[in-house]
Amino acid sequence: MRMMRKEIWVLLILSVVIALVVSPFASSLPDGLERVAEDHGFIDKATELINSPIPDYVFPGITNEKVATSAAGIIGTLLTLAVAYGIGCLLKGRDVQGSKTSQEQKHGNR
């Protein structure tokens, strides 16, 4: 990655700390939509269509639930960082190493 401002590094470090350290202590109360779905009797209509690799932010195979949540958090955070950075590069027609791809300068090809 190219040089980043100090504030952006701080935001990245904060993200890692939140994912690793804070996430196991997040509230497990229902969120606003889940609460409405419970109160009005349509939560049972919710289904699962695919087998997620890390369902509900709990990394499978780790017995300690706090550690399993930390693991899911850091994997998700780093994966999101990589995917969003990659999409940014694609959008600007730049290869991931940071140099312009030679003849792919035609903007508006996507």
Partner 1 sequence: MHIPDGLLDPKTFGTAWALGGIAVGYAVTKTNKELQERQIPFMGVMAAFIFAAQMINIPIAGGTSGHLLGGMLAAVLLGPWSAAIIITTVLALQAFIFLDGGITVLGANILNMAVIGVLSGYGVYLLFRNLWPNRTGVLVGTFVGSWVSVVMAAIACSLELSFSGMGALSIVLPAMLTWHVIIGLLEAVITTVVVAYLTQVRPDLVHQAAGSR
Q: What are the backbone angles phi and psi of residue 84, rounded to the nearest 5°? A: -65, -40
What letter does residue 22 receive in the DSSP assignment? I
Q: Which is nearer to partner 1, 37 or 62 (CB)?
A: 37
**Footprint of partner 1 on this chain (CB under 8 A)?**
1-2, 4-5, 7-8, 10-12, 14-16, 18-19, 22-23, 26-33, 35-37, 39-40, 42, 45-50, 52-57, 69, 72-73, 76-85, 87-89, 91-92, 94, 107-108, 110
Quote the least distance from Cβ 63 to partner 1, whole Å: 19
Quote the least distance from Cβ 52 to partner 1, whole Å: 4
> What is the distance of C-alpha 79 from the center of its chain?
6
Quote the least distance from Cβ 65 to partner 1, whole Å: 14
The strand pairing partners of 94, in sequence order, are 100
CB 16 within 8 A of CB 73: no
Q: Which is nearer to partner 1, 63 or 109 (CB)?
A: 109
How far apart CA 36 and CA 95 sit, in angstroms, is: 45
**In the structure encoding, which two tokens stand for residue 62, read together?**
């780790």
